[in-house]
Every structure is written in structure tokens, then in C-alpha cells.
Amino acid sequence: MKPYKIALLAGTHQHRWPDDGSGICEKCHREHSPHIYQSNHPPNVCRICGAVGKCQHTAGFSYSSPEQHSCKNCFEKINHTHDIVGTETVCWHCPDCNNYHSFHTFNEGGCTVCGWICPHSAFSPDGDSGHTCNKCNMFFEHTMQTTGTAAACMTCSVCGYSTSHTGISVVGDTCPVCGYKHSEHIWSSGKCKICGIVCSHPSVNSLGCCTTCGTLVLMDQTDLYGFGSSGGYDGVYHFDREINYQGGDNLKIYRGYRRENSTWIATGYNLFSFAVYKNITQFGGDYAYRITGYVFTKNDSVNVSPALLNANGVRYLKLAQYNLDGSLRDADTAGYTSDDCMFSATDINIVYNWNP
């Protein structure tokens, strides 16, 4: 018998696989077995012979997506089998991959897949006219009831949505809807929540807050403030100007004020806020510096030098001194604060993190 016939009978010849997906050798007419699959190869296609659809999926399945699972052997994706469960937490179960599907598909409060009916046990306000069920998103109109308190005119008994009073502009007015009489202001951020009047802040306490409405009183919302020091630096610091240096470094200068009898009075103090640390900067003189922190002074300028690290009126000051060739002379970056700048209430609290 010729050698090629012996090879055919023994199955040791080089197979020739057709491109028809059958996996049957054109020489010996035997089907390739076992088929080999890879995840980066087309699913249910043998990477050796190209046979298509030969896997019987006996190895089981792995969850792939809410719609499908994949065969552990050939990686083909197949739609889940839906065994209806029909409870609040589970719509259906797939026995093939053991996936429990917990999301319902609602229409008018009922799940179109499993038939579970939502009990509508919790709601969220959805505008002035109604609320929606937190579970099925079904919309219902508000059930409004008279409240008649300072906090609300009418309140929905289902979702808690409430309406504000109308027709009230001063103390003594009465809401025509619920009958609530406005007897005293209820302040929020300097404005009465009932009648909308804005507090004039006739006086402030030792922490800079209005004694009437409790709001921190500033000249402008960008102001800095500090209260409770022993050095006389208490007050609001209103932005005056900014000096910019190389690479985004800057010095911001603020003027100090206190509010007395509804009037802003200058304290005479200036606040210098240094943020000069990205680059070595020469302010004049024989040396250059990196410096961050705050200096309170009645002068119109600050002499930048290591002496600031022992001065009064200093908060969170970090300083490094350099020769003009860039070599370091001296540094203290612990963040020095003088005893007279120990504020008990302040927003002058930025501490920059940098090293010489």
C-alpha cells in the first residue's frame, strides 16, 4: 500500500479543511475533533478547522450582559432563558447562567415582563403639579393639604412637596390661601424666608455676624474676614488690588473694615496675601524670595525679609531667601503664625505646600 494511503487510514496526513464551515477534511473525509475555540476568535468557530456551530454548549454559560450569556467553551453569546419570578426584587431568573434580573420594565405601574404590580410605596416631588413613584416612575397628582405654618402654606401628604405663602410682604400680613399670619422674620442668608425682606445688618457681634439675622456680614462675597485675634486685626478685608509675578505667582492686597451702625469703617489695617512660591522672585534689594502667607500691617507695603518670621501680624507665613544666582540662603517653611494672629474664626486659612 502506498504511503499516502497509509497516512490517510492512520489519520496522520496533513488535513485540508474546506471553507464551508463543515470541519470535514477534504482528503480523509473525517470531521475534526475536538474543536478548539478562543475568546479572540469568532464565537463557535473552531480555530483549527473553521467548523461553525459544532459546540453543544455543554460546558455551561457565563453572564455577559442583561440580555445574554456566553458559552464557557466556544464563547458564543445566547439570549437568557427567562424563568419568571415576579417579586419586587427579581423579575426573572436565567437557569443557564444563574443570573437573577432585578429590574422591572414598567408600564402604568405593572411590569410587562413578569406581571408584578408596583405598590407605589414611596414618592418624590416632580414639579408643582405632582410626584412620581420611586419604583416604577408613574406620575400622580399632588394631594395638597393646608399646613398654615411658617415653613409652608400647603403640603402634599404623599410626597411632602410644599408651597410658599403668598400676599406677605411685611410682618403682620396674612396669607390668603392658608391664613398664616406673618409675626416674625425667619432669616436665611440675610433674607426673610416668609416675606423676602433683606436684613440691613444694623449691628454685628465679635465674630462679624449680624446680631439680627446671624449672617456673616461682608462688603462683597469675595472678601476675606478674620475675627477673634488679640492683635486688633479683627474685621472684613476687602480686595484692593493684585500684583502678578512670573508663572502665576501673585500678591493680593486687601483693606480692612468693620461695620458699625450699618456703616463700613476703615480699620487702618492692610492685609498682604502672598502666593509667590512657583518661582524665585526679587522684590528689590540684594536677595530673592519664595513667600506665602498673610501679613497684617498699617503700612502700604511690606519689607520682605527673614525678619517677618519673628514679626507680629503674621499668619501661616512660609519664606525662603535666595542669593540672586538662585542659591538658597535661608528658609523656614513650617508656616509661622504670631501669637496676636491666632484667630478663633477666620477664612484666612490657606496654607501652601511647597519646599525651597
pLDDT tens digits along 291-342: 999 999 999 999 999 999 999 999 999 999 999 999 999 999 999 999 999 9
User: Is residue 1's pLDDT more than 70?
Assistant: no
Largest separation between any pair of C-alpha atoms in the chain? 122
pTM strictly above 0.75: no
Chain mean pLDDT for the chain: 92
pLDDT at 5 over 70: no
Among 4-8, 19-23, 70-74, 129-133, the range scoring the smallest mean pLDDT is 4-8
- 3-state per-residue secondary structure call for 279-339: EEECCCCCCEEEEEEEEEECCCCCCCCHHHHHCCCEEEEEEEEECCCCCEEEEEEEEECCH
Q: Quick check: helix, strand or coil at residue 341?
A: helix
CA distance 219 to 266: 12
| 219: pLDDT strictly greater than 70 | yes
Is 69 buried (19+), middle (13-18) or exposed (0-12) by CB count in 10 A?
Answer: buried
The helix (run of H) or strand (run of E) holding residue 144 is strand 144-146
pLDDT at 326: 93
User: Cβ distance 226 to 313 under 8 Å?
Assistant: no
- pLDDT tens across 98-117, in order? 999 999 999 999 999 999 99
pLDDT at position 304 is 96
Strand partners, 45: 52
pLDDT at 282: 94
Asked if the model's pLDDT at residue 237 lies above 60, the reply is yes
DSSP 3-state of 225? strand
What the block records as the C-alpha cell of 159 is 410626597
Contact at 8 Å (CB) between 343 and 315?
Answer: yes
CA 238 to chain centre: 30
Q: Is the alpha carbon torsion for 260, 263, 265, 270 positive or negative?
A: positive
What's phi and psi for 353, nearest 5 deg? -100, 105
Q: Residue 110: how many CB atoms within 10 A of its CB?
A: 16
Q: What confidence score (pLDDT) does residue 12 get?
A: 57
Bridge partners of 38? none
Domain borders along the chain are 1-78, 80-111, 224-346
| Residues sharing a CB contact under 8 Å with residue 111, sequence separation 6 or more, in sequence order | 86, 91, 104, 105, 117, 118
Determine the residue type at 137.
N
Q: Region 138-147: what's the mean pLDDT?
A: 97
Q: Are 187 and 175 in contact (CB under 8 A)?
A: no
| Coil, strand or helix at 88 | coil
Cβ count within 10 A of residue 175: 19
Q: What percent of the chain has pLDDT over 70?
A: 97
What is the tens place of the pLDDT at every residue in 192-204?
999 999 999 988 8
Task: Output the pLDDT for position 298.
Answer: 96
Contacts of 111-118 with C-beta under 8 Å, sequence gap 24+, read: 111/86, 113/82, 113/84, 114/84, 114/85, 114/86, 115/84, 115/86, 116/86, 116/87, 116/88, 116/91
pLDDT digits (tens, 9 = 90+) for 24-56: 998 888 889 899 999 999 999 999 999 999 999
For 253-262, how does the pLDDT look when each residue is reduced to its tens digit (9 = 90+)?
999 999 888 8
- Percentage of the chain with pLDDT > 90? 83
- The yes-or-no verdict on residue 221 having pLDDT over 90 is no
pLDDT recorded at residue 4: 43
More confident residue, 353 or 12: 353
d(CA 224, CA 203): 19
Query: What was the pLDDT predicted at 291?
Result: 97
